[in-house]
Structure formats: structure tokens, C-alpha cells
A and B are shown apart, each in its own frame.
Chain A
Amino acid sequence: EAGVAQSPRYKIIEKRQSVAFWCNPISGHATLYWYQQILGQGPKLLIQFQNNGVVDDSQLPKDRFSAERLKGVDSTLKIQPAKLEDSAVYLCASSLVQGGPTNEKLFFGSGTQLSVL
């Protein structure tokens, strides 16, 4: 079974530039998550999709971050303009279960490491 695919693996940009990350979840997984992991911390949820609808984006800095999941499959996370504090690993995860939350297993990608100079 193919895992969660993310690209690019690394990205270096200057502040005020824009950047985009791509995620392709496991086939058939309805739920997709974007997490931000700053160095020395645990991942923090940015946004969750159920199919192509947003379930939770309460911690997404909407003035600079945007995300979409067209056709309920792959997803793109964008930052425009980037700030120094956006330097982090951006992890994508997916899970199979639809409907209410359960203890279902999340499958994570290997993330994109962003450095903002």
C-alpha cells in the first residue's frame, strides 16, 4: 500500500516570498490533515479536511496561509508571504474513517522542511 506522499522534501526561501506544499493521501482516505512542527515541538494542527470540505481551520493563520483539497483527493498548502517564524516541518496525514472522530489510525507523510531566511 502506497503511503502519504509529500513534496518537496526541502524548501528554502527568503522572507516575504511565497511557497506551496503538496500532499497526496492514501487512496480512499476521506480525511486529510496538515500539521506544522516547529523545531523542538510537537506537531500542531493547521487544517483538517473531510473529503473536499474544511472541518477545522481554527489554528490556520488565514492572513498568510491557505489550503485547498480539490476533488477530495490531493491537497496544497500555501504560505504567502512567508515569515521567519514559518520555518518548520509541514506534515500531511490522512485517515480512512468518515464521520465522527474515533481512534482511527492516522498515516503521516515524511513532511516538507521549510527554511525561511
Chain B
Amino acid sequence: AQSVAQPEDQVNVAEGNPLTVKCTYSVSGNPYLFWYVQYPNRGLQFLLKYITGDNLVKGSYGFEAEFNKSQTSFHLKKPSALVSDSALYFCAVRPPRGGKLIFGQGTELSVKP
């Protein structure tokens, strides 16, 4: 079965500090991996994706993610967090044969001044 896990329900970070939001996946073959962000009462906004190539991918708003095949992880990172980064973050996987996005349960990121 294909699945995505986000082990932390909540991550708290001080503004200016680096942040990491963790994601691991279980998909046969080489998956396509995505991060989305959801601000309160809003839809899901695409942040970045990994398809192939360089394991470090850069996305919107200064976010980046590191793909690690051996650990089946795709952690979201940002070198310096902003208060405005506070939101719900979803990791998602798309099987290599295509099809629906499968989402993790989400991680609430809280950045305090």
C-alpha cells in the first residue's frame, strides 16, 4: 500500500531559526513527491516537488526539500523561519504510474517572534 507519514503533528520554531518538517513515504518504485501549504481557511498551495535529479529541490517562499531514497524521506526545510510561515504543511506522494496525490496527515508549523 502506498502511504505518506508526517511524524510530527506540530513543529514550533523561533523566528529566524531553521525549520524542518519531516515526511517519510512508502511507495513502490520511484515516486513523485510534493509539499503543499495550507493557510487558515484557505486551499492547498503547491510549494515544491521532487521528480528526479538533484536530491535538494528548491521551491516557493524560500523553502527547500531534501529527497533521501535510502531513508524514503522528503523533509521540508527553510534556513530562516518567518512568522508568516505559520501554517499547515502537507507532504504528498504520487505513484510513478500516475494517479491521485496521497497526502500525509499534515504538520502544523508555528513560528513565534
Bound pair (A, B): no
